[in-house]
Structure 1
C-alpha cells in the first residue's frame, strides 16, 4: 500500500480553503420569536384577537383572558412542531463527523474527517466508518454495510475493478464507498471524490431540509372551517348591527350584542379540545409502542390510503435464516430434520464459517454465516463446543473470484477433513463424487442436473443458495476432487404477523407498498408471501424510475406494489407520485436513505430499535418495537381519534350555531337579546367544552372502523351527513331556546287577557323582571339541551337504548357538572347577581327539561327513519 503518496499537506490546505470543510451545511435557524410570530399571525387568531380587544373595551376581562390563552397555546404547539426538520439535519451532521486515516506526503496519519478534501487518499479498515465518498483504488475482501444508506440487507463486497454505467444505482456501485457506511470486513484504499454536501449523505441532508411541513388533513379542515366561520361572524355581526340601527337601538347595546354573536359564532374551545384529544391519543399510541412526535400525525395516520414500507427489518425479520435444505437428491423438511442423518451438512456449514453467536444471543459476523450458525443451533449443535472437539487447523479464505471458502479440521478420531462451502456452480466443477444416504460414489450428469434444478428452484424463490462439499486427508485445503454433500437456501424471512396486518389494511382500503434497496427477485418473493404483490409487472426497478417523468409515474403508481433497488431520491419521487393522486401516504423506514421520504410523506414512521437517529429525527412516529403490526394498531387508533374529533367538532358547531340562530332571530324580530354575553361564555365553557371533551375521548367509537375505506384527502368534516346533523340539531336547540325565552311574556299576556301580538310581546320585555325571567329560561334551556345533545352525538347511527352509557364516565361527569353548574347560576344568590338570572321554580325547571330533551327525541326519530330505509 506504500505505492500511494497522496496529496501534499500544502495542496490539501489549499483545497480546503477553496472548497470548504467536509461537513454538512448548517441552515440559518429561525429564532423562537420568529416561529412564534409566524404561528400567531393567521386568520383565525386575527378574528379571536379582534374579539379579545372588543371584550377588553367592554370590560369583559374573563372572556378576553380565555381567548388569549387559547391563541397563545396554539402558537406554542406550532413552534414545538416546527423543530422537526432541524432535528433531522442535526442528526445527519453528527453522523458525518469522525476521524479519517489518510495518506499525505507519503505518510499515513489520522485527521478529522472535516479536513478531508477531494483527491485525498483514505485507508479503510474493518470497523471504521467511511469519512467521505470514495472511488476505491484497492480492495482486499472489502465488505461494506450500506443498509442505512441503500437498504441492502447484507454487506456488499466491493471491487475496485468494477465499471458502472449511467443507469447503475448507488447500491450497485461496487467501486464506490459512501460517507457514513461501515467497513464490516477486509480493508481498502480509496480516493476522495465528493465531500460535504456533494456526498450521497449530503444530498440526503439537502432533500430533508427542502421538505417543508404540510398541514394534516384535520388541520386543513380546521383552517377552512375557521375561515368560513370568520367570514360568517363578520357578515352576521354587520347584518345585526344594521338591523339594530334601523330599529333605532342603542349603539352600545348593539356593540355588546355583536360581541355576543362573535363569541357565539366562534367555537373558540374547539382548538383546545382537539389539542387535548390528540394529546390523549398520543398517550394511547405510546401504550401500543408508537411514540408520536408530531401531534397532528395521530389523526393523519388514521387517514392514510397508502402504507409504504421498507422491506428489511420491517416486513422481514432482518436476519438471514435457512429456510430450505437439499441433500440425498431431495428436499428436507426442516421441522422434522434428522440431525444424525444430516450431521455432515449441518456441522460442515457451521464449521466452515467465521461467525459466532454469543451467550446472550448476539450474532457476530457476516449475516449469511451467522444464519448457518443459527441453523445448527436450532438442532442443538453449538459452534463453540463443536470447534473444541473438531478444531480448525488450516483454511483458505473466501474471495469473490473463487466464490468458495475452505476450512480443514481434525476430527475426534484423529482424521483430517476439509469442508468447502460456496457457490453451487463453482463447487460442482470441483466435485468428482457425491454422498447419497451415507454412500459415496462418483457424481453423474444426472446428479448434477438434479442439483442444478434444485438450485434454480431455490434461486427462483429469491433464496441465497450455498452448497457444501468435503474431502478427507486434505490438510492443504485443496479445492479439487471434492465430494458433494448438499445445499441450503436462506433468506431474510417475512414476519409472520405482517400477513394479517396487510389483510386488515386491504379490508380498510389501504394499499401496502414495498420500497426497498434490495433486488427485484428477493423483494417479489417476500411480497408474494406477504400478499403485497403477485406478478412481476407489479414491480419496478430504480433505473426504470429514472426513465419515467413525474406524470408517467403518477399514472402508473396505483398499479405498482414493489419498488426495488431504489435510491433516496426515488423514494421521495414515489411518495410524491402517490400524493399527486390525492392519496395520503405513510412511509416506514429505518435508514439514513429513508429520511427524505419519511419527511416527504404525510406520516413518517421510523423504527425505534434498528432505526438511525436521522430516520427518527425526520419521522412523525417512532415504533418502539419495530413491528409492522404496530402500524396497523396505530392506524386503527388514528381512525377512532378522528371519529371522536369529528363528533366533538360537529357537536360544538351545532351548539354554537344554535346560539347564533337564537340571537339573530330574536334581534331580527325586534325582541331583546335572549342571552347575555356572559351567558354564552358560560355555556361555551361549561356545557359545551366538558361534553365536547367527553366526546373526544369516547370509547364507543365504531368497532368496524377498519372495515371502512379511508376518507378522501381534503374530505370535509361535514362529510357523511355532517351538514344535516349540524343543521338539524342547531335548529332544534335554537327553537326550544326561543320557546323558553318567549314563555314568560306569553304567560303574562295570557294571564292579563292582553292580545298575543308581536308588538305586545316586544313591549313585555321592557319589564325588567319578565326580561330576566325570559333570559334565565332561555339560558337554562340552551345549556341543558346541549348536555342532552352531547349524549346523542356519541353515536348518531344507534338508538340511545342500545348505548352502554356507563363506558363513558367522563360524559356522565360532564353532564352532572353542567347540570349542577346551571343550578348554581339560578339558585345561589352570588351567581344570580353575576349572571343576572332569577331563581327557578319547579315548574320552570320542568319546562326546561321537557324542551331540553327534544334533541334526543330527534335523535331517536332519525335513527328509526334510517333503520326503516335500510330495511
Structure 2
C-alpha cells in the first residue's frame, strides 16, 4: 500500500537516493532478483508441438495410412519413402514456422517502449524492460508509464488510465497526496501511476514500486495468454486460395480414382497416386512461406531504420499514393540554430561560433526568458530535449547565460506546458523576492495575450502600429525560411495558477532559427514522384517559412500550393476535399487539422501515409492507411498508434520503406505463381494420363519427392529475391487490385500447362525409344521404368529452371543476371544434384523405381526442361515490345 506512505518512507524502503537514483550495480542485482519488467505472454510452442502440428492434416493422415498398408503387403521401399517424405515435409514446416516466429519476435523487441530513469546521478533512456523496483522514473507528456510508480514529484501531471480503470478522462496526479484508507480504489490513488497507462500532460517523477507481473496491470494480464492468430489480409486470401485449390485437387483425385476404377487399373496404386497428387497439388506450405517472406522483409526494413509493427502494413506500403510528412526532423536535420534576433525594433545576427556579449539589457532579458522557459539541457557540447529548446539553451551559452546556473538562481515553481492548440509554453520562476512568468511560442499567439512591449528598457503599451512592426519582422524572417519564436514575460508577487499565467504579458522580442533540410531528402522526394507518389509537408511553422522550405525541397512549385490551418477552418469539409489535391504545404496546423487532411486525401481515393510524434497525433496516425511515428522524438502514444516507426526520424526512410514494401509484395507474388505453376504441372501430367488411358508417368513416391525439392528452397529463394531497381518507376499498386491481376493468372496457367505437357512428352519419348507408345499394351517393366525416369527428371528440373522465369514479369533473366539471386542459384543446383543422386545411387534408384539415363537422353530431358523457361522469356520479349510501342 505505497499510496499510504510518504515519499521519504518509500525511498527508504527501496534504499534509493532521490537525487542520485540507483547505481548500475544495484540495478543489475535487482534485475537478477526480480527479472525483466514485462508481462508474461503466451507460452512459446516447443519444437515437438510445432512438429506434430505439421502432421494435423487429413491428407497426411491418409498418406500415413497408405504407408501402413504398403508395409502390410510387403512393399517396404515405398512405405519407407512415404514416411521419409512425410517426415522431411514436417521438419521443413517446423523450420519455416520457427524462423517466422523468431523473425517476428525480433521485430517486436525492436519496438519495446523506452523509459527515462535516473541512475548513477544522471538521466538515462533505457528499454522499459530494464526497469527494476527502486528505479527513479521520469515522466513527461506522451510517455507510457513503464511500471507501477509512487510519485515523488509532479507538475500539472495528468495520466490517462482507461487501460486499467476504464475511465477515459485523464486523472490529475499529485505526489504529495497520502491516503490512509487501505481500500482506496486505484482510480482515486492520485499519488500513484500505473504500468500501461499514459502521461498526457505535465511532467513528474516516481519510484518504481512494482514491475512486470507484480504490477496492477500484471494481475489481470492472463488475457494475454490467448492464442489468437494474427494473419495479414494477404495471408488470409492465400489461405483461402489454398483451401479452394485443395477442394479442386481432391475433386480431381476423386475423378482420377473413379476413371481408374472404370478402366480397371490397379486400385491401390491409383489410390496412392491420387493421394500423392492431392498432397503435391495443395500448397500447404504457402502460408508459412509467405510468413517467412514477410518477416524477413520486415527484418530487412528494420536495418534501414523502419520498424514495421504490423505485418499488414507491408502490403499497404506498396499502394501508398500520398506521403504526409512533418517538416522538423523528418524533412530537416532537427538541429535548430538561432541565427537572428529582433529586439526593440532592431535585427541582430547571432554569431555562428564562439561567445558574445549582450548589447542591451533587452537582449539579455529576451535570452533569459527563452533559457528559463525550456526543459532542455546542454552540457559538454551535448544537448537533450526538444531540438528547438536545445537551440535556445545554446543561444544562452553563446551569450554567457548558462541554463544550469540560471535555473538554480531562478528556481521554477510552476509551469503551463506547451500545447499544440495554444502554441505556447510558460513557466513561473523566482525573481528578486517575487516571481516572473516566462512565455515562449508562436508570435501570433503571444500577440493575443500581450498588452505591452519592452522597447529600449521601457515597458510601453502594445499599439497596433508596434504590433504590425513585430509581425512584419516575423514575416521577414519567415521569408528567409526561418522558424520564428516570440518571448514575453510579466512580474507577479505571488504564485499563479497555470490558467492565470498567460494574461497581460509584455512582449520581449523574436528569434529566427534555422533547421536546414536534410541533403538526401530532395532526391528521395524526386524518387517518390517518379513512383507516382505525392509528397506533402505538414508543419506548425509559419506559412511563408513552410512554403520556402517546400520550394527548396521540390515539394511545392509555388506559394499558392500552401494553405494555413486557419484557412482550412474557413472552408467547408466538402469544398476542402475537392481542393486538397492542389495543396502541397499545410502550415500552422493542429493535430485536428491532420485528421482533416488525411480524410480529404482519402476521399479522393488515395492511400495515405502520415507521420507524427506527439500525443495529439495519435488520431491522425490511426486514421491514415500507414501511420508513421518518429523513433527519436516520438512519444510512446504516437508509437503505439502507428503502423511503422522511423528509428532515424528521416523522410528518406519512408520512401525506402515503400520501395521495400513493393518488393516484398512482388516477391510473394513470384512465390505463389511459382508454386501454383508447379502444382498445376503435376495435376496436368497425371490427370491427362488417367483420362486418356495412358500409363501413369509418375510413381506416388516420385510425386512426393518432387514436391519436396521444388516447394521449399526455390520458393523461399524467390521470396528473398533482390529488389527490382525499376520498381520505383512504376505507379503505386491499386489497393483494389486482385492478387492475380496483370497477367499473373495467365503466367501460372501457361507455366503449369507447359510443365505438365512436357512431362508427358518426356514419358512418350522414353517409351518410343524402346518401340512403344502411350496406348501400347503390355509394356515391359524395364521400359516403363525408363520412361518414368525421363518424366520424373523433366517434371522436377523444368520446375527448377522455371523458377528463374518467375524473377521478373518483363525483364529477361539474362538482363537480371542468372546468379544475381545466389540463394535461388544454390537452390536450383542443390535440387538438380539431389535429382541426379536419386537416379545414380543404386539404393535410391531402386527405392524410387528409376534407372540411369543415357547421355543422349540426359540432353533430351534437359532440353525439354528448358522449354518453359524459354517460352516464358519469349512471352516477356513480346510484352516488352508491346509496352515500348505504347
Same fold (TM over 0.5): yes
Map 1:743-758 onto structure 2 (within 5 A). Answer: 743-749=765-771
For the Cα contact (< 8 Å) 1:124–1:183, is it kept in 2? no
Deviates more, 1:236-245 or 1:288-297: 288-297
1:779 offset after TM fit, Å?
0.5
- Asked if residue 741 in structure 1 is aligned to residue 756 in structure 2, the reply is no
The aligned residue for residue 3 of structure 2 is none
Task: Identify if the C-alpha distance between structure 1 residues 376 and 346 changes in structure 2 by more than 3 Å, giving closer, same or farther.
Answer: farther
For the Cα contact (< 8 Å) 2:153–2:204, is it kept in 1? no
For the Cα contact (< 8 Å) 1:636–1:705, is it kept in 2? yes
1:831 offset after TM fit, Å?
1.0
1:256 offset after TM fit, Å?
1.3
Matches of 1:221 and 1:375 in 2, distance apart?
A: 58
- Asked if residue 565 in structure 1 is aligned to residue 590 in structure 2, the reply is yes
Map 1:147-546 onto structure 2 (within 5 A). Answer: 180-183=199-202, 215-295=231-311, 297-307=313-323, 314=330, 322=338, 324-326=340-342, 343-344=359-360, 349-352=366-369, 353-354=371-372, 357-363=377-383, 370-375=390-395, 380-384=398-402, 429-431=452-454, 450-455=469-474, 463-466=483-486, 487-490=510-513, 497-498=520-521, 500-512=523-535, 528=550, 531=555, 535=561
1:790-847 CA-partner distances (Å, limit 9, x unpaired): 2233234233443433332223322322222121111110110121101111121121
1:864 offset after TM fit, Å?
3.1
Partner SS for 2:511: strand
Task: Identify if the C-alpha distance between structure 1 residues 523 and 619 changes in structure 2 by more than 3 Å, giving closer, same or farther.
Answer: farther
1:662 offset after TM fit, Å?
0.9
For the Cα contact (< 8 Å) 2:257–2:270, is it kept in 1? yes
Among 861, 864, 869, the residue aligned to 2:874: 861
- Asked if residue 820 in structure 1 is aligned to residue 833 in structure 2, the reply is yes
1:579 offset after TM fit, Å?
7.4
- Asked if residue 650 in structure 1 is aligned to residue 673 in structure 2, the reply is yes
1:234-267 CA-partner distances (Å, limit 9, x unpaired): 2322222222222222332222121122123123
The aligned residue for residue 727 of structure 1 is 749
The aligned residue for residue 829 of structure 1 is 842
For the Cα contact (< 8 Å) 1:277–1:693, is it kept in 2? yes
For the Cα contact (< 8 Å) 2:626–2:642, is it kept in 1? yes
Matches of 1:328 and 1:336 in 2, distance apart?
A: 22
Q: Where in structure 1 are there 5+ consecutive unaligned residues?
A: 1-25, 104-112, 137-148, 150-177, 187-200, 410-417, 436-441, 471-481, 751-755
Partner SS for 1:375: helix
1:641 offset after TM fit, Å?
2.2
Task: Identify if the C-alpha distance between structure 1 residues 430 and 685 changes in structure 2 by more than 3 Å, giving closer, same or farther.
Answer: closer
Among 709, 713, 719, the residue aligned to 1:690: 713
Matches of 2:544 and 2:39 in 1, distance apart?
A: 40
Matches of 1:808 and 1:116 in 2, distance apart?
A: 53
The aligned residue for residue 845 of structure 1 is 858
The aligned residue for residue 150 of structure 2 is 99
TM-score, with structure 1 as normaliser: 0.66
Matches of 2:147 and 2:247 in 1, distance apart?
A: 51
Task: Identify if the C-alpha distance between structure 1 residues 676 and 295 changes in structure 2 by more than 3 Å, giving closer, same or farther.
Answer: farther
The aligned residue for residue 61 of structure 1 is 83
1:852 offset after TM fit, Å?
1.6
Task: Identify if the C-alpha distance between structure 1 residues 865 and 519 changes in structure 2 by more than 3 Å, giving closer, same or farther.
Answer: closer
1:398 offset after TM fit, Å?
10
The aligned residue for residue 704 of structure 1 is 726
1:715 offset after TM fit, Å?
2.8
The aligned residue for residue 119 of structure 2 is none
Partner SS for 1:358: strand
Asked which structure has the greater RCO (Cα within 8 Å, sep 6+), the reply is: 1
TM-score, with structure 2 as normaliser: 0.65
1:860 offset after TM fit, Å?
3.5
1:652 offset after TM fit, Å?
2.1
Matches of 1:239 and 1:314 in 2, distance apart?
A: 61
Task: Find the structure with the greater CA-based Rg.
Answer: 1
1:725-780 CA-partner distances (Å, limit 9, x unpaired): 22222222222211110112223227xxxxx6x53x3x15x421111111100011
Matches of 1:274 and 1:115 in 2, distance apart?
A: 40
1:514 offset after TM fit, Å?
6.8
For the Cα contact (< 8 Å) 2:610–2:628, is it kept in 1? yes
Partner SS for 2:808: coil
Q: Where in structure 2 are there 5+ consecutive unaligned residues?
A: 1-37, 70-78, 114-127, 130-142, 155-162, 177-184, 191-195, 206-216, 418-423, 441-445, 491-504
Matches of 1:245 and 1:553 in 2, distance apart?
A: 70
1:278 offset after TM fit, Å?
3.0
For the Cα contact (< 8 Å) 2:807–2:813, is it kept in 1? no
For the Cα contact (< 8 Å) 1:132–1:179, is it kept in 2? no
For the Cα contact (< 8 Å) 2:324–2:608, is it kept in 1? yes
Matches of 1:69 and 1:504 in 2, distance apart?
A: 43
1:572-603 CA-partner distances (Å, limit 9, x unpaired): 89878977887655554445555677677665
1:557 offset after TM fit, Å?
8.1
For the Cα contact (< 8 Å) 1:698–1:794, is it kept in 2? yes
1:407 offset after TM fit, Å?
11
For the Cα contact (< 8 Å) 1:52–1:68, is it kept in 2? no
Partner SS for 1:180: strand
1:509 offset after TM fit, Å?
3.0
The aligned residue for residue 656 of structure 2 is 633
Matches of 1:297 and 1:709 in 2, distance apart?
A: 18
1:786 offset after TM fit, Å?
2.0
Count of residues in Structure 1 that have an aligned counterpart in Structure 2:
732
For the Cα contact (< 8 Å) 2:356–2:400, is it kept in 1? no
1:77-116 CA-partner distances (Å, limit 9, x unpaired): 898979989999x99985584336899xxxxxxxxx9999
For the Cα contact (< 8 Å) 2:320–2:608, is it kept in 1? yes
For the Cα contact (< 8 Å) 2:613–2:630, is it kept in 1? yes
For the Cα contact (< 8 Å) 2:671–2:718, is it kept in 1? yes
Matches of 1:219 and 1:78 in 2, distance apart?
A: 13
The aligned residue for residue 109 of structure 1 is none
Task: Identify if the C-alpha distance between structure 1 residues 294 and 70 changes in structure 2 by more than 3 Å, giving closer, same or farther.
Answer: farther
Matches of 1:224 and 1:824 in 2, distance apart?
A: 37
For the Cα contact (< 8 Å) 2:342–2:510, is it kept in 1? yes
